[in-house]
Amino acid sequence: MSLLVVGSVALDSVQTPDERRDDVLGGSAVYFSVAASFFAPALLVGVVGEDWPAQHTEMLQKLRVDTSGLQVIPGGKTFRWTGKYLPNMNDRETLEVHLNVLEQFNPKLPENFRKSKFVFLGNDSPINQMKVLDQADGRLLAVADTMDLWINIQRDKLDEMLTRIDGLVLNDSEAKLLTGDENLVRAGHKVREMGPKFVVIKKGEHGAMFFSEHETYVMPAYPTAQVVDPTGAGDSFAGGMMGYLAERGDFSPKSLKTAMAYGIVVASFTVEDFSLERLKQIRRADVDRRLEEYQQMLTF
């Protein structure tokens, strides 16, 4: 079934303890779309500037991503993020953020995107996220991401948005901030009580937790010896998860659990190289093979 993603499209500069890459392809909607593409083509809505290299759009199109919702702002500059990873490769510092065209981003869904059944609201202001919900009136499932910024400065709008979505995906530190609870199990359920029917807490190298009214579970990250660049792991997780659900066409507890596992596995590929490099090299069979290994790993 159709899968819509609205989120950032970026040029990232990333510094790890070993290497540095400048102006590489990034952004939540891009990681999401490429991760989802193993399962279902995504309809992408985002914004870039005139400096956006056409090759990135072509790459996305080759992966069956519909880029007709990608707004190009004449004279504008693409959103840029510069970050530096600490030696543990799990924590990072944001060194520079240039919102550029993202500052005035007003999500507009092309007519044929409005009937999307599966909708993912990448990290953006809750106001923008609700604008998408207003337009995506054919949806069966809406899942959103958020971040500390919106928890801190647009809490009332965020609270409103939370009552309108089916699922929320957020980081452990964000779940703690949103609920004031340091215990992630309690925090997960407290977030769920704010509106979404299910909540996923991402724990970086420690995996992810799932919360619904009747279920609480944790899935570890796939153990990776060579973490080259963790950027986009969380968005790849969401893309793998939502892509699988869109492929299945349902979001039963069983499908959601397998979707979590696929999300974890796809994210484990993302971190093996900079930017989208690793995801571009692999195919569905590689994802399935690792999923099987992962499943084996958890069987005793």
| Residues engaged in binding its own copies (CB under 8 A) | 87-89, 182-186, 189, 203, 205-207, 209, 216-221, 223-227, 254, 257-258, 260-261, 295, 297-300
Cβ-based nearer residue to its own copies, 110 or 253: 253
Residue 54 CB burial class (10 angstroms; 0-12, 13-18, ≥19): exposed
**Residue 163 CB, nearest approach to its own copies (Å):** 24
Nearer to its own copies among residue 92 and residue 206 (C-beta): 206
Alpha helix segments (H runs only) across 99-232: 126-135, 148-153, 155-162, 172-179, 184-192
Dihedral (CA of 114, 119, 123, 127) sign: positive
Residue with smaller CB distance to its own copies, 144 or 291? 291
Nearest to 82 by CA among 26, 125, 152: 26
Cβ-based nearer residue to its own copies, 61 or 216: 216
Q: To the nearest whole angstrom, how small is the minimum distance from the Cβ of residue 52 to its own copies?
A: 34
* Residue 129 C-beta: closest distance to its own copies, Å: 28
Are 290 and 278 a contacting pair, CB within 8 Å? no
Nearest-approach distance from CB 166 to its own copies, in angstroms: 20
Place of tokens 């693409």: 78
Q: Nearer to its own copies by C-beta: 161 or 184?
A: 184
Nearest approach in angstroms of CB 182 to its own copies is 5
Tell which phi-psi region holds residue 100, choosing left (phi > 0), alpha (psi between -120 and 50) or beta: left
Q: How many residues does the chain have?
A: 300
Q: Which is nearer to its own copies, 65 or 287 (CB)?
A: 287
Least spacing, CB of residue 240 vs its own copies, in Å: 13
**E strands present in 60-100:** 66-73, 79-85, 92-98
